[in-house]
Amino acid sequence: MKNYFSSDFRLGVLGGGQLGRMLLTETQKYDVFTVMLDPSKHAPCSEICNEFHCGDLMDYETVYQFGKSVDLLTIEIEHVNIEALKQLEKEGLKVYPQPSVLEIIQNKARQKQFYIENNIPTAPFQVFKIVEDLKSIEFPFVWKSAKFGYDGNGVKMIRHQKDLIGLPDGECIAEELIPFKNELAVIVARNENGEVSTYPVVEMEFHPVANQVEYVICPARIPEAVAQKARQTAMNVAEAYGHIGLLAVEMFQTENDEILINEVAPRTHNSGHYSIEASYTSQFEQHLRAILNLPLGKTESKVAGVMVNLVGAEGYSGVVRYENIEKIMEIEGVTPHIYGKKETRPFRKMGHVTIVNENMEEARRIAELVKKTIVVKSN
């Protein structure tokens, strides 16, 4: 096995945001030399990785030359230049997740078609080249941009003709509105040897306006039979992709307790942040283990965990100021994570708080208190 630890091995990461910042905790723990590329010179990782490069993740030459400087390449964001990754892979560089997987996942229309082709249950949908064509179909439905959606951007509920006004033009999907009990997620890890493990099913509660996750609850408050079905479905998805690394599988639990795939993220994910405090192996350590083809870690939780996203308050943009952090730190089992972003804006993810407790309902109660107490404003 290659010596990754305290050696001249160079791990490359495309993206230097908060996911990369939390990954660095694990690379530093194992003393893995980590090189990162991000378009912002003030990216959260810029001052704490071993080596930082500033450049466009969608530019072929930038990504290609960066890849030539490392021994293995991974991502913390999927919006990267696929052609450069394909060429690097062709030249012998290990790229995880693989470019062929990223190419499918980057485009939601292609991703949905992949589920149909592989008999993976998903909500019925139609693909459209331009927004104008949506006027011909029946309301209501969920509009999703085929490319570049994130954190609730690129997704909108369409109930009336007027809801189509202002939608960006370009390829999109119209997805049938499915009545569901819960939005769930399962994180799957898979290494080159084919070893696979899943984390417990989590339940996600969304902000009604921003369509952004407010709370992640682990374990999900669902029957064991549904949880087993969700974990098995997530494993089936990872196997279908042949994906190496971490795969976050978002899904719906329907009124009839069926599991439908919503979409996936081929990386560490917001739904797994609770694992830093609550699990035997955090999702970030697990990602590192998976891409380096090391034995996967234990995924069970030590204790119930609830994560609260810290996002910029409405009406505030500019240099960030956090209010009442010291108050939430007085509460037992509460751990804040601040992402190092200097500028806030409404609903921008600025950090998260994990609450761990032996009692799930108590953890959820404290999470509500934390959400009401801490405020992310600007000077």
At 269-317, the pLDDT tens digits run 999 999 999 999 999 999 999 999 999 999 999 999 999 999 999 999 9
**What pLDDT, on the 0 to 100 scale, is given for residue 152?**
59
Class of the domain covering 10-95: alpha beta
C-alpha–C-alpha distance, residues 279 and 2, integer Å:
27
* For residues 176-193, average pLDDT: 95
Average pLDDT score over residue span 354-369: 96
The confidence score (pLDDT) of residue 161 equals 85
Question: CA 163 to CA 217: how far, in whole Å?
Answer: 32
Q: How confident is the model at residue 183 (pLDDT cuts 50, 70, 90)?
A: very high
Residue 150 has a pLDDT of 62
**Amino acid letter, residue 161:** Q
Predicted pLDDT at 33: 98
Numbered residues of the known binding site = 108, 144, 175-178, 183, 262-263
Residue 286 CA to its chain's centroid (Å): 14
pLDDT band at 213 (very low <50, low <70, confident <90, very high): confident
* Whole-number average pLDDT of the chain: 94
- Characterize 45-81 residue by residue with b for buried, 16 or more Cβ atoms within 10 angstroms of its Cβ, and e for exposed: bbebbeebbebebeeeebbbebbeebbbbbbbbbbbb
Looking at residue 334, its pLDDT comes to 98
- Asked if 217 and 271 count as a contact pair (C-beta separation under 8 A), the reply is no
160: Cβ contacts below 8 Å, ≥ 6 apart: 139
The whole-model pTM stands at 0.95
- Rounded to an integer, the average pLDDT of 21-32 is 98
The contacts of residue 153 (CB under 8 Å, 6+ apart) are: none
Average confidence (pLDDT) over 97-118: 96
According to the model, what pLDDT value does residue 72 have?
Answer: 98
Residue 208 has pLDDT above 80, yes or no: no
If you classify domain 124-176 with CATH, what class do you get? alpha beta
- CATH dotted code for 180-378: 3.30.470.20
Task: Please state, in angstroms and rounded to a whole number, the distance separating the CA atoms of residues 363 and 356.
Answer: 6
Contact 26/284 with Cβ under 8 angstroms?
yes
Interval 69-77 mean pLDDT: 98
Annotated domain spans of the chain: 10-95, 124-176, 180-378
Binding site feature residues for ATP: 108, 144, 175-178, 183, 262-263
